[in-house]
Chain A
Amino acid sequence: MDEQRRRSIVRGALAIAGAAALYEGVSYSGLFAPVLLPNIQTVGRTLYGMLADGTMFEHAGATLFRVLLGFALATSVGVPLGILMVRFKPVENFFLPLVSALMPIPSFSLVPLFMLWFGIGNTTTVLVVLYGATFPILFNTWSGVRAVNPLWLRAAGSMGADERKLFWKVILPGALPFIITGMRQGFLRAWIAVVGAEMIAASDWGLGWVIFDAEQFLQADVMIASIVVIGLIGFVFERLVFGSIERATVQRWGMVRIAKG
């Protein structure tokens, strides 16, 4: 097993090195203009330069601010509404058709409209993030509360738990794996939405805007450097933040692994 694992790591490293070498080879071959296909050293130097003079931090900070604000708003709308929808049938009857109709609209299709209404800048991007992230959170909360084992509810009820206790001790923990999955999917969507919104509703700062702006000046190295940063931040949130929350809850409780989006 250990031997096998070691071989996996070696092969993986070889694959990455091979892909990098291939890229370098094509880049040096001169088949494509170096502006379009910069070699890895150039990208590294650009990335270092942007980190050193602090511009990259400002871009990343602006993007993170928008995505976290939008995501926090989405959570504070989605989770309570999802719980209310299960708890009160009229709420469900009212919101479920609306949610089903609004959910399939990609958040980007609203960007031009939001730009007209709210102008270029933070309001538009945050709203787009909010729109993209709310529905997975809402929907998963709703399924999660519905999926709480009725046996647990009856058991807790027969042991004399009142409504408040039932909610905090049984329903909320029971639905939590779904809620976390919803938040994870929501964040993934929020992260995609913020990049797209920044490209279209161009403001002065933001990782999406940098990439789009760099296209105008044929700065492929800046574009690739920003893509690397976007990927790294996404990876950190996806794997480290949500991954560890999920490990601490869903996996520890032995719930079924839910397919990832």
Chain B
Amino acid sequence: MQNAAAIAVQGAPPAAPRAAGERWRLIWRNAFPFLVVGAIWEALAWSGVFPRQLFPRLEDVAQSFVRLTISGILPHHTIDTLIRLLSGFGLAAVVGIAIGVLMGRSRRAEDICLPLVSILAPIPGLAYTPLFLLWFGPGQFSAMLLVAFVSMFPVIYNSWTGVKAVKEIWLRSAQSMGADTARMFRHVILPGAMPYILTGLRLGLAQAWRILVAVEMLAAVPWGLGWLIFGAREFLDTGAMMAGVTVIAVIGLILEKYVFQKLEAYTVVRWGMLGSM
């Protein structure tokens, strides 16, 4: 178990290689698994075990990707999906933080909201989808509302926990130094709860992203990556489907790498709860 111990002590693979050779080795190391998987895929596709319409070759996928990008269809789908994600999540962030902080600060608000939140939160957001579609009609508005509704709960829950986790002694010392309610909130409670709120936002955004694709398939929106994949199925256009999945993966990867991990670096890792990656 020497190896595990060594990694645990290091906590992370060696960071930021200086020499150019090492840099190339790092790139090669990250690219290698994809090459292997790609080669297996190609081999299967060329072997003819599966029909080409169902199991497209990578060239077909690349071709659809280029075709859809040049004709502007893929960017349009992508932008619509992103707008929906941001508007829904923005709504969830504002409402969620407000409710969560209120619940953390006021005993009365907590008593009233907590039962309702704990009843609604464990139900998968997708289960509401057909109901929302009946009530608000198919389309843009339902999709945004659903994304907001689903991603709201982690935000509420973590804001609430965060405000409650602010150390009693900070509150008392701020109070004894004469802080009024507004200052106390602005300078003690909000910074103290911020790490939790950030975690809540991260979880909420991840949830919103996961739900959005499914909502787009069900909610009959005119544009959107989920709809692109779902619509392409009707025409057995697996190339377009794979192209859509690729864009979804890239956006997800960007969200993961540049948004979630940044947020996490600010919170969990900075406090030394978990070694950085």
Chain A residues proximal to chain B, CB less than 8 Å? 4, 7-8, 11-16, 19, 32, 36-37, 86-89, 93-95, 97-98, 100-113, 115-117, 143, 145-150, 153-154, 157, 163, 166-167, 171, 189, 191-192, 195-196, 199-200, 207-208, 211-212, 214-215, 218, 220, 223-224, 226-227, 230-231, 234-235, 238-239, 256, 259-261
Contacts and interface: CB of A to CB of B under 8 A. Distances in A.
B122 A215 contact: no
B29 A86 contact: no
Given A98-B34, A116-B233, A260-B157, A15 B115 contact: yes
A112 to B, nearest CB: 4
A102 B256 CA distance: 11
B100 interface: no
Contacts of A200: 214, 217-218, 230
B131 A220 contact: yes
Interface in B175-206: 196, 199-200, 203, 206
Contacts of A94: 32-33, 36
A104 B253 contact: yes
B123 interface: yes
A19 B115 CA distance: 11
Interface stretch (B16-24, B166-174, B241-249): B241-249
- Those 8 A-B pairs whose CB atoms lie nearest each other, nearest first: A104-B252, A11-B111, A108-B214, A231-B123, A215-B130, A192-B124, A112-B233, A12-B115
B108 A11 contact: yes
14 contacts: A32-B135, A37-B135, A87-B1, A93-B29, A97-B33, A105-B252, A106-B211, A106-B248, A108-B217, A116-B233, A148-B8, A150-B8, A211-B129, A234-B123
A59 to B, nearest CB: 13
Nearest to B271: A256
B3 A106 contact: no
Contact of A224 (B129, B131, B161): B131
Given A12-B114, A102-B249, A261 B4 contact: no
B111 A15 contact: yes
Interface residues of B, number: 82
B111 A104 contact: no
Contact of B127 (A36, A37, A89, A230): A230
Nearest to B112: A15
Given A94-B32, A116-B236, A108 B115 contact: no
A214 B128 CA distance: 12
Given A103-B252, A106-B210, A200-B218, 9 more contacts: A105-B252, A106-B214, A106-B252, A108-B217, A171-B1, A215-B133, A215-B134, A231-B119, A261-B154
